Amino acid sequence: MLYMHDVWVNWFEGEENGYNVCGFHEWRKEDGVELIDQIPLILVTDQLFQLVLNDLHDLPFELLEDINQRAFAKKNQERHVLEYAAVITDGEEVMAFDTIGYTLPVKKTRLIPRQERLALDMIAGRKPAEYQLHESDGKEYHILSLSPEAMLGLTRRERQLKQLLMMALDQLQHSDHPEEIRYWLTEWNPGRYATIKDLTLKDAWTLLYEGTMTGWSERHEELCGKLIKGQPFFENIWYGEQKVKEAQMKSRN
């Protein structure tokens, strides 16, 4: 088995969509970057790579057996064994995962560019390991788990705020005051004010949801900021991303 050493990781926990496992260029100073002292490297099929990156399904039993207690993390100069962790690649992309003792990839990370290149060099000329995959009905996307197309071209901050907006919209749809949907649709699209009042709540909701699904803009951000007002959990996320924006603007100046 191949092994990599001194691998820097930036774990994203509980993510079922690969677009939230940020590449090195989107890592932040406040992220908890860690050092993995030793970790197995496995060339896998594209199907398995995508399953690990874009889902939270149980991993093949044979894969778990192959990597069992073969990875070690270094923290405060002490070496700790990782039950099931590995770097995997399909020959084009590279990522690492740690199940934290479970059978599914709870924590995921991309690698720094130098170590990505090293991983690809190490598996050059090899054949992918074959593992029996569980049957799947295919992944379903929804308002709280948007499709990759809905996030295409967005920065980490924009993706975070778009997910926040969708959480707020989902809460709005299931609130005790569904009539507010028309109000927020008017906020989003004031040009349709004259016709919005005649829409059913279902039609108004569909227009609001589908209208905000595409891309990200100042209008999206403004609507998001208004929708989450007075909700501490949402506001904490919002203010955190505003600080990121301010820091980015300062660095440009």
Residue, of 177 and 217, whose pLDDT is higher = 217
Task: Give the integer Cα–Cα distance in Å for 73 and 6.
Answer: 9
DSSP one-letter code for 192: G
Angle at 23 between CA 119 and CA 148, to 5 degrees: 115
Looking up tokens 């930036």 gives 10
CB within 8 A of 21, min separation 6: which ones? 12, 15, 53, 95, 108, 109, 110
- Mean model confidence pLDDT for the chain: 94
Q: Where residue 34 falls among pLDDT bands split at 50, 70, 90?
A: very high
User: What's the chain's Rg over C-alpha atoms?
Assistant: 21
Task: Give the integer Cα–Cα distance in Å for 70 and 84.
Answer: 8
Task: Give the integer Cα–Cα distance in Å for 214 and 166.
Answer: 12
The pLDDT of 207-219, averaged and rounded, is: 95
Residue 249 backbone dihedrals phi, psi, to 5 degrees: -65, -40
pLDDT digit string, tens, across residues 57-101: 999 999 999 999 999 998 777 889 999 999 999 999 999 999 999
User: What SS3 state is found at 28?
Assistant: coil
Looking up tokens 């989107």 gives 26
- pLDDT for 231: 93
DSSP H stretches of helix in the chain: 46-53, 61-67, 113-123, 148-151, 156-173, 180-188, 193-196, 201-213, 218-227, 232-252
Q: Rounded to an integer, what is the distance from CA 139 to the centroid of its chain?
A: 15
pLDDT digit string, tens, across residues 100-143: 999 999 999 999 999 999 999 999 999 999 999 877 767 889 99
Model confidence, pTM: 0.91
Check pLDDT > 90 for residue 251.
no
- pLDDT for 12: 98
The pLDDT of 34-61, averaged and rounded, is: 96
pLDDT digit string, tens, across residues 130-188: 999 877 767 889 999 999 999 999 999 999 999 999 999 999 999 888 789 999 999 99
The pLDDT of 43-56, averaged and rounded, is: 96
- pLDDT for 119: 98
User: What SS3 state is found at 8?
Assistant: strand
Q: Where residue 249 falls among pLDDT bands split at 50, 70, 90?
A: confident
- pLDDT for 137: 65
Residue 131 backbone dihedrals phi, psi, to 5 degrees: -130, 145
Strand-pair partners of 3? 40
Task: Give the integer Cα–Cα distance in Å for 182 and 23.
Answer: 38
